[in-house]
């Protein structure tokens, strides 16, 4: 991760709404830290499905998460309406590094932010391959 800390909406290219759920809250009354990764995964894959035509069930090439991290700045809790900010920090031949952030709806400052890395692999051989062109085009929309 770079030393830059992208914390405002203007640092992201796309926003995906997420519905928090009652079960997301932990005993302390806020969304549990591991749930943020689920939000990141859902937002990234929604973009790949809607914009890149990814077929999560039958595509011969899929993205595997190989690294992710999150910095937590302010709590969120059910029933907060949130949005995941997306951007592409680095687009390689077979991998992509996303910048992701969680924002409360209507707020400019992120509650959490991090990175999320996909490596694209041939499902049958479990070997990395170049990112398919339709997915690369969808990812290019998010490059900063």
CATH domain 9-140 topology? Thiol Ester Dehydrase; Chain A (3.10.129)
Name the pairing type of β-strands 14-19 and 81-91: antiparallel
Write down the domain spans for the chain.
9-140
- pLDDT per position as a tens digit, 95-104: 999 999 999 9
Question: Quick check: bond before 128 cis, omega within 30?
Answer: no
Residue with tokens 């479990």: 126
Q: Note the pTM of the prediction, 2 decimals.
A: 0.92
- pLDDT per position as a tens digit, 8-46: 999 999 999 999 999 999 999 999 999 999 999 999 999
Residues 6+ apart with CB under 8 A from 121: 61, 62, 63, 64, 94, 127, 128, 129
């Amino acid at each position: 991760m770079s030393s830059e800390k992208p914390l405002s909406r203007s640092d992201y290219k796309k926003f995906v709404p997420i519905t928090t759920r009652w079960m997301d809250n932990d005993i302390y009354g806020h969304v549990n830290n591991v749930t943020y990764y689920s939000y990141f995964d859902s937002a990234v894959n929604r973009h790949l499905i809607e914009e890149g035509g990814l077929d999560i069930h039958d595509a011969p090439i899929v993205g595997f998460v190989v690294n992710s991290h999150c910095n937590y700045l302010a709590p969120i809790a059910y029933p907060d309406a949130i949005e995941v900010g997306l951007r592409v920090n680095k687009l390689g031949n077979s991998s992509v590094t996303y910048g992701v952030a969680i924002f409360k709806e209507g707020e400019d400052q992120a509650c959490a932010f991090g990175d999320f890395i996909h490596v694209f692999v041939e499902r049958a051989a479990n070997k990395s391959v170049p990112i398919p062109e339709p997915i690369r085009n969808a990812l290019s929309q998010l490059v900063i």
